[in-house]
Amino acid sequence: MAAILVVRSAGLAGHQLSPIAGVAVLQTRGVHNNVIPTGAHTPRGRGGRSSFSGICATVFGGTGFLGRYVINKLGRDGSQIVVPHRCDWYNTLYLRPMGDLGQIVFSELDERDPESYRKMLKHSNVVINMIGRDWETRNFKFEEVNIDLARTIAQLCKEEGVERLIHVSSLNADPNSPSKLYRTKFEGEEAVKEAFPDATILRPAQMFGREDRFLNYYANLRAFGGVPLISRGRKTIRQPVYVGDVATAIINAAKERDAKGKTFELVGPNRYYLYDMVEYIYRVMHRTPFIYPYPKFLYMLAARFGELKWRPLLTRDQVIRDHHTDETTAGVPGLEDLGVTPTSLEAGAISVLRRHRIHRWYEEAVDDIQPAKTAS
C-alpha cells in the first residue's frame, strides 16, 4: 500500500529560496507483498535454509518460548514464515536471523480483530497456533485465549482453504480438571475440531529448555529458602518433555499427511516424582536441595497475593497444575509416531541449569551426576 504525501519544504537557512512543493511516497508492506503466492508452494532447491521447502507457515504465538524453536526449525528447512506479533517490533529482532533473507515476514496483529488474523493466514498453506498464556490477564481470560481465539483461527483457516492446521493444546486437557487452564484447553480442542476437523492437535507436557518456566522456576525458588511443595512432591508425578522435541514434532506433523485430524500427546521418556525431580535439579546445580512440605491452603493463600501483580508471581491455577500428575491417554499416539525420539531430562537439564550453578563453568562430566529416580 502506498500513500502519497505532498510536502512543502521550508527554505534552507541563509538562502533565499522560495518554499517548494515535494512529493514523498510512504510505503507500508502487507503480508501479501512478501510471501510466495498461494498456488506456488512447490518445493525448490536442494533442501536447507536457502531452498524452499514448500511450506509457507503462519506461526501464531511465534514470539513465545516454543515459538522460537519452531521458527528456527522452519527457517533451517527453507520454509517461509509469517510471524504475527503484538509486541514491539524491537522484541522480534532475535527471530530475524533464523531464516534466509526475506523468508521470515513479521506483521503486526490486532488481537481483537478477526480480519487481522485473516490477513496473516490467507497466503499460507500451514498454520500453527501456539497462542497461550499461563495466567489470566485483565484483558484476556483463559476462555478468550484458549477457546475463542482457537476457534476464530480454525474457522478462518477453513474459510481461506488452509491445508494444514496444527493446534497446540496441553497434556492433561480435561473437561473435569480442577485447573481452569486444562478445562479451557480441552474446550479449545473441541472448538478447533468442530471448525476444522482435519486439524492436528498436539498436547505437550510441561516443556523444559533454556528459557523455560519449569526447571528455571524450581531453580529460582531457592531465593525463598527452599522449594515448598504440597506433600513434599511425593504424590505428584511429572513427565516433562524437551521443547526442541515438541518443535520437531510440530514440523513433522505439518508434513505428515497421516497426522491430519489426529491428536498426539507429547511427553518425555521418563516419569518422576516431583520430589525426586527437584532433588535432581539441585544436584545438577551443585546446590543442596531443601524441599519442605507446604499445606495446600497456605499455598493457595500465597498464590492469591501472587496474583495481585500484573505479571503474577504465582497463581492458584498454577499451584493446581504444578501438583497435578501427568496422565497420558491409552491409545493416543506420541512423539515416536511423529518420528521424534524423546530427549531425557538428564540429557537436557544441564543446558538450562548451568547458569544456576555456584561455579557456572566448573566442568564436571554430566554423567557423574546421579540421574533422577524414575517413578514406575
Maximum alpha-carbon separation in the chain: 89
Name which of residues 43 to 62 contact ligand NAP (CB under 6 A): 61
**Of 53, 206, 236, 270, which one interacts with ligand NAP (CB under 6 A)?**
206
* Least spacing, CB of residue 81 vs ligand NAP, in Å: 14
How far apart CA 331 and CA 232 sit, in angstroms, is 32
Q: Is 98 in the site for ligand NAP (CB under 6 A)?
A: no
Question: Which parts of the chain are beta strand (E)?
Answer: 2-9, 20-27, 56-60, 80-85, 104-108, 126-129, 164-168, 200-204, 207-208, 227-229, 237-238, 241-242, 263-266, 272-273, 291-293
**Of 29, 86, 309, 355, which one interacts with ligand NAP (CB under 6 A)?**
86
Count of residues binding ligand NAP (CB under 6 A)? 21
How crowded is residue 100: how many other Cβ atoms within 10 Å of its Cβ? 17
Secondary-structure breakdown of the chain: helix, strand, coil percentages, each rounded to the nearest 5: 40, 20, 45
Name which of residues 141 to 180 contact ligand NAP (CB under 6 A): 145, 168, 170
CA angle 37, 40, 44 (to 5 degrees): 125
Q: Is 204 in the site for ligand NAP (CB under 6 A)?
A: yes
Question: Phi/psi at 20 (nearest 5 deg)?
Answer: -120, 155
Q: Is 251 in the site for ligand NAP (CB under 6 A)?
A: no
**Site map (CB under 6 A) of ligand NAP, residues 123-142, x = contact:** -------xxxx------x--
Looking at residue 169, the DSSP 8-state letter turns out to be: -
**Of 66, 199, 215, 267, which one interacts with ligand NAP (CB under 6 A)?**
66
**Of 98, 192, 207, 352, which one interacts with ligand NAP (CB under 6 A)?**
207
Q: Which residues lie closer than 8 Å to 330 by C-beta, 6 or more apart?
A: none
* Least spacing, CB of residue 237 vs ligand NAP, in Å: 16
Point out which span in 8-16, 93-101, 192-200, 203-211 binds ligand NAP (CB under 6 A). Answer: 203-211
Strands 20-27, 2-9: pairing is antiparallel
* Least spacing, CB of residue 299 vs ligand NAP, in Å: 20
Point out which span in 204-212, 273-281, 292-300, 304-312 binds ligand NAP (CB under 6 A). Answer: 204-212
H helices of 274-359, where?
274-284, 296-306, 316-322, 345-353
How far apart CA 121 and CA 190 sit, in angstroms, is 21
* Least spacing, CB of residue 125 vs ligand NAP, in Å: 21
* Least spacing, CB of residue 227 vs ligand NAP, in Å: 18
Point out which span in 37-45, 92-100, 199-207, 314-322 binds ligand NAP (CB under 6 A). Answer: 199-207
**Of 49, 64, 232, 262, which one interacts with ligand NAP (CB under 6 A)?**
64
**How distant, in Å, are the alpha carbons of 237, 315, 323, 364 from that of 373?**
11, 29, 18, 20
* Least spacing, CB of residue 48 vs ligand NAP, in Å: 26
Please, how many CA atoms are within 13 Å of residue 225, restricted to the half-sphere of its CB? 3
Q: Is 63 in the site for ligand NAP (CB under 6 A)?
A: yes
Name which of residues 269 to 308 contact ligand NAP (CB under 6 A): none
Residue matched to cell numbers 527452599? 226
Which CB sits closer to ligand NAP, 53 or 170?
170
Q: Which residue is nearest to ligand NAP (CB)?
A: 64
For ligand NAP, the binding residues (CB under 6 A) are 61, 63-67, 86-87, 111, 130-133, 140, 145, 168, 170, 204, 206-207, 214
